[in-house]
Structure 1
Amino acid sequence: MQKTVKYIKKNYIWFLMVLPGTIWFLLFSYLPMFGNIIAFKKFRIDPDGFFASIKNSEWVGWDNFKYLFSTNDAFLITKNTILYNLVFIFLGLALSVGTAILLSELASKKLSKFYQTGMLFPHFLSWVIVSYFVFTFLSPDRGLFNNILEMFGVDPISWYSESKFWPYIIVFMSQWKGIGYGSIVYLAAIAGIDRTYYEAAMIDGASKWQQIRHVTLPQLKTLMIILTIMNVGRIFNSDFGLFFQVPRDSGALYPVTNVIDTFVYRGLMTLGDIGMSTAAGLYQATVGLVLVLITNYIVRKVDEESALF
């Protein structure tokens, strides 16, 4: 005990530095975990408050989970969620790394900073605002794309009724909004690579592509694997704004835009079933944890130094 107190006194400045982050995680990440019990109850609001509501709500066990997966759309929303996230993970990885490498190779640092700022800006835009930008392009009567089509004598397209276009639109908008933010970490990692590696490669006659292939990418490998493992943990989660706001909640597009998060939201708004919504969130978190553990285990078997833990 005395050693612990002595250690804390010696390093108190570091403990103070991490204290705000620790408090934030306790309040917003760990404390809400106790609310997962709602997933196993038929939640009803009690006039005596939240805790009384939990205590007095009927225990229904796994019924909320059964309802979530007994619907006709269960397979569709699961398939959409997984397939979109797989594309986002691997396409986002390739574009983020590629963008970071291109920015790092720019000779003009001022120009590099300008491009970084321009590419990062969409990340801070709300999906509500982005949805209006998209609508200006895809509006059935006054949209820019339909105006261009009419100039060439092509019939206008009812974009918000034609589901076949939206997988590409969803993927494009996701990468457009996230590529700038996703490349920051890789750009910082590239800046930290020892320049003597590149100097040695140039002395050996390596071209710029060979330097990227044999120096930059190997140095980024561990970071790429760790971030991919963390993204795999969110494979059952979706960006609600992307799938709800951008398609403008068009019912005709549900076959390609309905994912677990939007399905649960619509169910909550229609049925007011908080227990089912909590069950969906617990299911997503549990599957994500299992996937992270499995992915990390596989990586650790292949290359222990690249594993997350």
Structure 2
Amino acid sequence: MAAFWKKVVRNRALLIMVIPGTIWFLIFAYLPMFGSILAFKDFRISRDGFFASVFNSKWVGLKNFEYLFTTSDAYVITRNTILYNLVLIFLGLVISVGFAILLSELVNKRMAKVYQTGMFLPHFLSWVIISYFAFTFLSMDKGTLNQIITFFGGERISWYSEPKYWPFIIVFVGIWKSVGYNSVIYLAAITGIDKSYYEAAVIDGATKWKQIRYITVPLLKPLMIILTILAIGGIFRSDFGLFYQLPKDAGALYPVTNVIDTFVYRGLINMGDIGMSTAAGLYQSLVGLVLILVANAIVRKIEKDHAIF
């Protein structure tokens, strides 16, 4: 016990730095786990208070989960959630790594900072703002794209009532918003690579492409794998703003924009069923945990050093 407290005293500065993050996780990640019990209850609020309402509500077992799997939209929302996330994960990975490498290769570092800042800015914009930016391009009457189309003799397109265009719009905007943040992570990893590797490659006559292929990418591989594994864990979750705010909640676009998160939100708004929404959240979390464990096990089987644990 004495040895433990000696370690605490010796590392007190680092432990103090960890305290804010620990408090945040306790309040917003671990404490809400108590609410998972609502997934198995027919929750009804009463005057006795929230906790009394939780314990007094009737047990319904797995009935709340039936809403997700028995509805006619179950296939559509599951398909959309999985496919969009797969595309955003893997296409985003390639583009983020590509931009990070391009930024690292720029000779003018001042301009590289300008480009980096411009790419990073969309990450801080809310989906409400982005949705209005998109509306200025896609508006039926005065949208920029329709003005360009009519200028060249084409017919105006009612973007918010044509589902066929939105898979491309959603993927494009989703990557545009996230690529800057992800590129910064990979750029930080690239700057940490020992420059002697590149110097030795130059002496051996390696071209810039070969340096990227045989030095940069292999050394980024562990980070790419770890971030991909973590992203796979959230494959049953979607960026709510991307699928709700961006298409303006247009009913005509539901076949291609409705995902589990938006479906549950609309169900909660229309029916006020807290138990059903809690069941959906618990289901997403459990599936995410299983996917992380499976993906990590596969990576550990192939290359143990690149696994998370």
Aligned counterparts of 1:155 and 1:21: Cα–Cα separation in 2: 54
Deviations 1:9-32 (A, max 9, x none): 232222112111111111111111
Aligned counterparts of 1:201 and 1:268: Cα–Cα separation in 2: 59
Aligned counterparts of 2:61 and 2:228: Cα–Cα separation in 1: 34
Aligned counterparts of 2:286 and 2:21: Cα–Cα separation in 1: 24
- Partner of residue 286, structure 1: 286
Q: Which residue identity is paired with 2:275?
A: G
Deviations 1:94-114 (A, max 9, x none): 000000000000001100000
- Partner of residue 97, structure 1: 97
TM-score, normalised on structure 2?
A: 0.99
SS of corresponding position for 1:45:
coil
What are the residue-to-residue correspondences of 1:252-291 with 2, within 5 Å? 252-291=252-291
1:206 aligns with 2:206: yes
- Partner of residue 130, structure 1: 130
Q: Which residue identity is paired with 2:128?
A: V
1:239 aligns with 2:242: no
Aligned counterparts of 2:232 and 2:73: Cα–Cα separation in 1: 23
Aligned-pair distance for 1:2?
2.4
- Partner of residue 111, structure 1: 111
Aligned counterparts of 1:126 and 1:3: Cα–Cα separation in 2: 48
1:32 aligns with 2:59: no
Q: Which residue identity is paired with 2:118?
A: G
Aligned-pair distance for 1:192?
0.2
- Partner of residue 173, structure 1: 173
Aligned-pair distance for 1:37?
0.4
- Partner of residue 296, structure 1: 296
TM-score, normalised on structure 1?
A: 0.99
Aligned counterparts of 2:99 and 2:26: Cα–Cα separation in 1: 36
Q: CA RMSD in A?
A: 0.8
Deviations 1:48-93 (A, max 9, x none): 2211121111111100001221100001000000000000000000
Q: Which residue identity is paired with 2:215?
A: V
Q: Which residue identity is paired with 1:140?
A: M
Aligned counterparts of 1:227 and 1:146: Cα–Cα separation in 2: 38
Aligned counterparts of 2:73 and 2:144: Cα–Cα separation in 1: 34
Aligned-pair distance for 1:141?
1.2
Aligned counterparts of 2:119 and 2:8: Cα–Cα separation in 1: 43
Which structure 1 segments of 5+ residues have no match?
A: none
Aligned length: 309
Aligned-pair distance for 1:7?
2.4
- Partner of residue 56, structure 2: 56
- Partner of residue 84, structure 1: 84
What are the residue-to-residue correspondences of 1:191-230 with 2, within 5 Å? 191-230=191-230
Q: Which residue identity is paired with 1:78?
A: T
Aligned-pair distance for 1:3?
2.3
- Partner of residue 159, structure 2: 159
Higher mean Cα deviation, 247-256 or 1-10?
1-10
Moved over 4 A (4+): none
Aligned counterparts of 1:122 and 1:16: Cα–Cα separation in 2: 32
Aligned-pair distance for 1:46?
1.6
SS of corresponding position for 2:161:
coil
Aligned-pair distance for 1:272?
0.3
Deviations 1:205-254 (A, max 9, x none): 00000000000001000000000000000000000000001100011000
